[in-house]
Amino acid sequence: METTGHALRPPVLVATPYPEVAMARAERLFDIGSRASRMMRSADVLEAARRREAQAILISVGLVLGEAEIEQLPASVRIISTASVGFDHIDLAAAARRGVLVSNTPDVLTDATADLAMLLILGACRRVKENMQIMAEGWVRSNGFSEGLGLEVTGRTLGIVGMGRIGRALARRARGFGMPILYHNRTRLPEDLEEGATYFANLEDMLPECAILSLNLPGGRAPVMTRDAFARLPDQAVLVNAARGSLVDEEALLEALASGRLAAAGLDVYRREPGFDRRLAEHPRTFLLPHVGSATTETRLAMAMRAIDNVEAALAGRPVPDEVRV
């Protein structure tokens, strides 16, 4: 139940602006002080948390709370709630040592991110960046019959690395294009969740079969796509990544594009954000977006509300629905 009495509202730091409806709810539930006009820097979060003796911090991707920052948090902080499915911007081990809960927002961004992954597939295969540039320049010359040809998406074999909620949602969309689905996961899914997809216990065995490869697993680990992994793909394969930039060795990606091993790449995430490697943008066969997988009005509101749900539960002493454990 939402509490409106001012004296009963615990101090909470909202370190990044959420949609207005979510901010209004946060103000009813908590004492959030003055609203941030944009995402706060880590140093400002620490200062504000200490000054306000915040019991919770609401953040999102882009605001990093690593070991050094978490060690400096005041003892008043009980939970860090991120409005994101990813949580590699938070040092979970450091939070656990301090007794600080961490929560994320799974489920609510599944469809938006799967839609965008499908967009990356289509954009990369059909050379959308090059064609948009032609239109921006006024379309002064028609392509010849054999110029500017892209790759057929329909019927192409799609390999999915990480068959969680988003991976399965992408598979459902890809089936509409008649794409055979292969997948690699830590464990095989039950047959009803596979929906006819073929499981590979070893990624190395799956890569040579993938005309298109989509990364749909959490980051915060060593790159999945290394030079060796790219070498295992068939010639003229396509890579799409709407998960985490840390999953791809970008030097190896550029080499695979230069060699022709990779026909194209569709990326929404990068090892450095926002200051990504500009060589990726300069390559003609990349289709790039600025980390907008969950960027729909409906999804961002749902994420913010879910993040607030987690804080409300923690501060009321109830189990946190989306607690992330080490």
Catalytic residue set: 244, 273, 291
Torsion angles phi and psi, residue 262, rounded to 5:
-105, 125
- Cis link prior to 218 (omega < 30° from 0)? no
CB 32 within 8 Å of CB 57: no
CA distance 225 to 169: 22
Q: Which amino acid is it at 235?
A: D
Kindly state the helix (H) or strand (E) to which residue 25 belongs, with its residue range: helix 20-29
Question: Which structure tokens are listed for 317?
Answer: 């002493």
Radius of gyration of the chain (CA): 22
CA distance 313 to 100: 14
CB 60 within 8 Å of CB 82: yes
CA distance 264 to 283: 9
CB 51 within 8 Å of CB 25: no
121: helix, strand or coil: helix
CA distance 291 to 86: 12
Taking Cα atoms as reference points, which of 95, 212, 97, 94 lies closest to residue 150? Answer: 212
Taking Cα atoms as reference points, which of 18, 13, 62 lies closest to residue 37? Answer: 18
DSSP 32: -
Cα-based distances in Å from 270 to 5, 134, 156: 44, 26, 25
DSSP 221: S
